[in-house]
Structure 1
Amino acid sequence: GQRGAEPRLLCARLEPSGGAGAGPLGPERRPLPPHSGGGPSPASERPSPRHKASRFLHSGGGGSGQSEDGKRDPESEDDVVNITFIDRSDRRIPVRGKVGDNVLYLAQDNGIELEGACEASLACSTCHVYVNEDCYDKLPTPDEREDDMLDMAPLLQMTSRLGCQIILTRELEGMELRLPKATRNFYVDGHVPKPH
């Protein structure tokens, strides 16, 4: 890759607060069918992720931790997590989030075109993002369901994650999330996403 081509933004080195994970997804969460298909799993063709940093308790995704209107302000400046999205035209979009925010919902609340067709039920890869390397190493290891969905994402990279599975912690201050040039939208179990 071209990792040296751009200046690298380092994430803040802060201690985890312990309860940074978000709650359950809610009633719309559906389990995925077991992996099926012949031949080797695409996961075997992808290099395994490198995880050097300590892990946090991770609930596997979930609600945004926001009020119904999605616009609750952080309770204190200690809860603020500043991140930057880089859209498909390389435009940098700074976003002020808070500890516990789900990256998919935070992007959507700020007008960033991160689709999330399955509404964070781990049934698609349309919220696929590239995480800057320093922050990628601070994220919890993707679970098997997220890995299965990432295997279907086009343009997969070593730092690929699903935005719906990234929950902001103070340690992710300065995180950069690049949107891939393409995503693959498909329907699972007849689910039809709501229009945006």
Structure 2
Amino acid sequence: MPKLIFLPHEVICPEGAMIEVEAGISICDAALQHHIEIEHACEKSCACTTCHVYVREGGDSLEPASDLEEDYLDKAWGVDPDSRLSCQALVADEDLVIELPKYTINMVSEQH
């Protein structure tokens, strides 16, 4: 099973995390199942940018971003070449190293 390695984030997972997941699950769903509270204001429907992450290693194993995902990434804070919307990026068979951005443009979270 592939591993998702989350780099430390001072609020969401201060010590980082490593989880094993089944291929085919989205990065967002995998994180949420393991109590890594990634924001997802649009209910994971590719209609916002709150679940933006950086896939620092293993990103080549992911399917390319759709045009819709690319359009939303254009609106995300701090986008770089490793950026993905975690609700759209489905884990394949390689381990991934994931960095959570320091900020999102979301002013309201589903959890609040």
Name the TM tier (shorter chain).
0.7 to 0.9
Per-residue deviation, 1:87: 3.8
CA distance in 1, matches of 2:98, 2:24: 17
TM-score for the superposition, normalised by structure 1: 0.51
Distance 1:180 1:167 in 2: 19
The residue that corresponds to 1:154 in the other structure is 77
Picking from 82, 98, 108, the partner of 2:22 is: 98
Aligned residue runs from structure 1 range 108-119, under 5 A: 108-119=32-43
Q: Is the 8 A contact 1:129 1:179 kept in 2?
A: yes
**d(CA) in 2 for partners of 1:99, 1:181:** 27
Per-residue CA shift, 1:157-195, capped at 9, x if unaligned? 11100101111121x22x1110000011168xxxxx643
Structure 1 residues 20-40: Cα deviation after superposition (integer angstroms, max 9, x where no partner): xxxxxxxxxxxxxxxxxxxxx
Q: Secondary structure at the match of 1:108?
A: helix
Report the CA distance between 1:142 and its aligned residue: 0.9
CA contact (8 A) 1:87 1:112 kept: no
2:98 to 177, 183, 186: 177
Greater RCO (Cα-Cα under 8 Å, separation 6 or more): 2
SS at match of 1:98: coil
What is the CA RMSD across the aligned residues, in angstroms? 1.9
Instruction: Write the distance in 1 (CA, Å) between the matches of 2:17 and 2:60.
Output: 22
Q: Which residue of 1 aligns with 2:51?
A: 127
Do 2:65 and 2:89's aligned partners in 1 also have CA atoms closer than 8 Å?
no
Q: Is 1:86 equivalent to 2:7 in the alignment?
A: yes
Deviation at 1:115, TM superposition (A): 0.7
**CA distance in 2: counterparts of 1:194 and 1:126, whole angstroms:** 10
Name which one, 1 or 2, has greater alpha-carbon Rg.
Answer: 1
Distance in 2 (alpha carbons) for counterparts of 1:110 and 1:144: 29
Superposed, 1:20-39 pairs within 5 Å as none
1:195 corresponds to: 111
Aligned sequence identity (%): 34
SS of equivalent residue, structure 2 residue 2: strand
Aligned residues: 109
Specify every segment of 5 or more residues in structure 2 that has no aligned partner in the other structure, as ranges.
none
Structure 2 counterpart SS, 1:83: strand
CA contact (8 A) 1:124 1:186 kept: no
Instruction: Specify whether residues 127 and 87 from structure 1 end up closer, same or farther in structure 2 by C-alpha distance, changes over 3 A only.
Output: farther
